[in-house]
Chains A and B, each alone.
Chain A
């Protein structure tokens, strides 16, 4: 069974903290994605990666960075968390061959106080 896992389901941080959200996939997928999901706004793409050590900005990269040191792991970093980054964060992956279908993790609900 294919799987995308995210390190935490719920996370509470304080303003100004550095936050790491981890995502791991076991499908040997080349492509990985980070989205944030907010009520009424749907999913918005933050960053994506097509290969190890490669990254591309999505639609809303400001305030975020990413790291992909290994093929199966894609980390989202909030350098200095702010309250407007309180959101649900979803990770996804897809293969190079079947690029169209993305597999999603369960999400991390981040609250920044």
Chain B
């Protein structure tokens, strides 16, 4: 069965510091991987995605993630965070390899950026 594990439920960080949000997945088929962001009182929006090709994926707002097949990981990184990055971040894997547009989400990581 496919699954997603986000290793940290909360990550506090100071403004302009680097951050890494960790995500591990389990899948017996080839994977599509995603990071979504949810700002307070809003729905989710896509931050970045890995479908195939280059393992380093760049997304919006300066975020990037690296697909590591051997470690079954897809960690999200940003070299310097802003107060406005405070949000909840969700890692997701395409169910059944992603062929049906159906996603399995992790439990989320709350990023709190402090001045």
A residues near B (Cβ < 8 Å) are 4, 31, 33, 35, 40-45, 48, 50, 90, 92, 94, 96, 99-102, 104-107
B residues near A (Cβ < 8 Å) are 6, 9, 32, 34, 36, 41-46, 49, 51, 90, 94, 98-108
| Closest Cβ–Cβ distance, residue A101 to chain B (whole Å) | 5
Q: Which of A42, A90, A94 lies in contact with B43, CB distance below 8 A?
A: A90
In the complex, the answer to whether A42 meets B9 with C-beta atoms within 8 Å is: no
Closest residue to A94 on the B side, CB-wise? B101
Of the candidates A41, A44, A94, A101, the one having the most CB atoms from chain B within 10 angstroms of its own CB is A101
Q: Which of B51, B98, B102, B108 lies in contact with A42, CB distance below 8 A?
A: B108
Closest residue to A4 on the B side, CB-wise? B43
With contact pairs A99-B100, A100-B94 given, residues A40 and B42 touching in the complex (Cβ less than 8 Å): no
Q: Which of A4, A102, A105 lies in contact with B103, CB distance below 8 A?
A: A102
Q: How far is the CA of A45 from the CA of B46 in the complex (A)?
A: 17
In the complex, the answer to whether B90 meets A106 with C-beta atoms within 8 Å is: no
